[in-house]
Structure 1
Amino acid sequence: MQVLVTTTHLADIANAIRAKNGASARYTPGEMAAAILALNVGGSAGGLSGGGSGGTGGGSGAAGEAPAGKVRVGGFSAAAKADGTIAGYTLGKVMMALPNHQVAAFRATLFCPAGVEMLSMEVSDFAGGRGWKCTNAHCAQAVRQEAADGARYVMAWEELVDVTQEGDYVYDDDRSNDKLTYYCCAEVKLKGAAAVLAGATLTVDVFV
């Protein structure tokens, strides 16, 4: 069966993507699938929704707020478990959204409600995550920001996304458009009563 797709249909899809991600980018039909996959559509990990002393740019704005000159291409959020951890290898990923050979900005924002203490926070950079490690060569630790209802800990950095060897591509990359996937490995440990731990979240955003 043949289906007619008009320029109006494609424009409607592109407008819907921009309405969801807040970007102003123009999309070709071949880029639309990756843009849709990168949208924030909920609160579970796995590519859905995002500094510190030693950070190299990336901006320290609110989660989801793009640094100057950049647009958000994806991210995810994950909630604390009953044992006070937010951890995973991979905790979440931003699918097929990072242009190869370009600098991307990353921001990890840990929100701790009043009564929750942050014991440790490790979030991988692009290179570390691709190696299934929590290492981050661009941001040594988070910066604490006071909030009316608790505190936020922010790690922000900029990093050159650069895959050149054939063996360094992974199955989640968009090879046809050379758009790469960010795998986020994270280990966060928190302390607090179960009632308040439930409100702690880690949000990771990526911008290009």
Structure 2
Amino acid sequence: MRPLDHKLKYQIDKLVRTAVTGSLAENDPLQLRPNPENLLSKLSESEESEGEAEDKTEKKAAHSSGRKYVPPKIAPVHYDGDMTETDKKKAQSERQRRAALRSSVIQELRQQYSDAPEEIRDRRDFQSDRESRDELHKKNYEESMLVRLNTPQRQKGVRKRGMMSMSGQLSGITNFGDITALTGGEGVQDEDDSRPKKKKKVMKKKNKRKAFKKHR
């Protein structure tokens, strides 16, 4: 640790020289000290506001001139304005025919009368076996230790997707598809047309009833 006189050497030399000469020279190293007054702005508030406004306009102009054009992201839609009514019916029947060929009934008939060997797929894999083992281990641990372990959010999402896929497969057992397009029938309309349209809520009638109740 340095002595105290070494720490105060700069201040002592400065005071001694000032006492001897009366003032310090302009190029004296002891004159180089920070002046807090230099931190204050010498411009008026109006000039500062004008300068800031000019800087903002210049930045906006530079940004607008240098920015590249980005086209709007619009989903492409097939244009069918030039199609006649017969063309629309023909396209609809073609879509129904393709959907009928993908139905489960046609697929089973094709496999039944085909000469190709039957393909049996095993849907269990290493990942499903590992998940079942982990689930069994977790269940045994919870039962033995009488605690409930927290399930991570990611694992919950995987389990939910598995349940949704299983429910979709179960709902498709009794759905054989529409094959009337292959037998010469008109077939079922498109999925968009077959969906029941939501009824619009009639707000006027409700408002009238409320007004009637108030008058009563």
TM-score, scaled relative to structure 1: 0.18
Higher helix share: 2
TM-score, scaled relative to structure 2: 0.18
* Greater relative contact order structure (CA < 8 Å, 6+ sep): 1
Kindly name which structure, 1 or 2, has the bigger radius of gyration based on alpha carbons. Answer: 2
Higher strand share: 1
